[in-house]
Amino acid sequence: MATWRDGPEYAPHERPAAFVVPPTEPLSAPAPPVRVIEAAPAEEPSFTVPEGAQPDLATLVPAAAPGRNPTVPFEVVTAAVTSGGPWSGTTGATAERLPTQPFTAPGPPLAGYLAVQPAVQPNAQVNPAPFPAPNTPQWFAPPPETRVPAPPPPVSIGQIWQAATPGVLVPLIVGMFFSWLSILMLAISFALSARIAYRRDAIRRSYVVALILIAMGGMLSVLADGYSSDLLFEALSASARAACVVLPFVVGLIVGAALRAGERPDRAG
């Protein structure tokens, strides 16, 4: 009787409450099969004596002569690649080809078919020139192939004026002389600074720093004298006027450095 120990296919579909050993005795192991031995033949085997004279066994022993030495190359007198023929330039079946001769038959000269090519000179010097002797003028001189970088091109004030755009510098100059217009002129200059095509981030940071300093000046005025519109306007105007004095030089230095470095204008957008 198969049980669940024989494999999952013999397990019950429903889990039993307990596993009980069956009361029947297990089957005994099967007896081994009986080996059947074939009976001996009834007649005695017979051997037929060969007819005719047989060779002596001593003649069948291989000769003890020395064989070929494997370290010695084969000796070939004539072969397909060494015999005479159209490829060797000689005639006759016994002619030998020299190792220096080509396998193809020599053809007509090609001097009249191909143009003479000029000799190509190498571009680079194969052997560099030796170093000069110490303590000589050539020893302290720079190498001949050393290229001194060209100095940056001079930048004029007119180029800086055009690159910084008059729309940015003119309001700052007006705010420099008229204190009561300095706040408005600074705002106009800051709005037009986006038209500058060189180092826009640095110029924008300069204006942001100036606006922060102006706001701090207004806060200090309020903390010191209390809130008063007249006093606050005077403090903001004074700070804006100081910014209008400093910013033209800062913008000019930033744009001039970009022009001397040969930078390309920034893309708009």
| Positions of the chain with pLDDT under 70 | 1, 4, 65, 76-97, 103-129, 143-150, 152, 267-269
Q: Note the pLDDT of residue 93.
A: 44
- Three-state DSSP class for residue 85: strand
Q: At what angle do helices 229-260 and 166-177 cross, to 10 degrees?
A: 140
Indicate the pTM of the whole model. Answer: 0.43
Question: Could you identify the residue written with the tokens 């700052």?
Answer: 172
Exposure string over 226-249, b if 16+ CB within 10 A, otherwise e = eeeeeebebbbbbbbbbbbeebbe
Name the 3-class secondary structure at 43. Answer: coil
SS3 category, 90 = strand
- What pLDDT shows up at residue 89? 45
pLDDT digits (tens, 9 = 90+) for 181-197: 888 888 898 888 888 88
pLDDT score, position 99? 74
Closest CA to 190 of 149, 238, 243: 243
Distance CA 17, CA 131 (A): 103
Question: Cβ(237)–Cβ(183) under 8 Å?
Answer: yes
Q: Are 195 and 167 in contact (CB under 8 A)?
A: yes
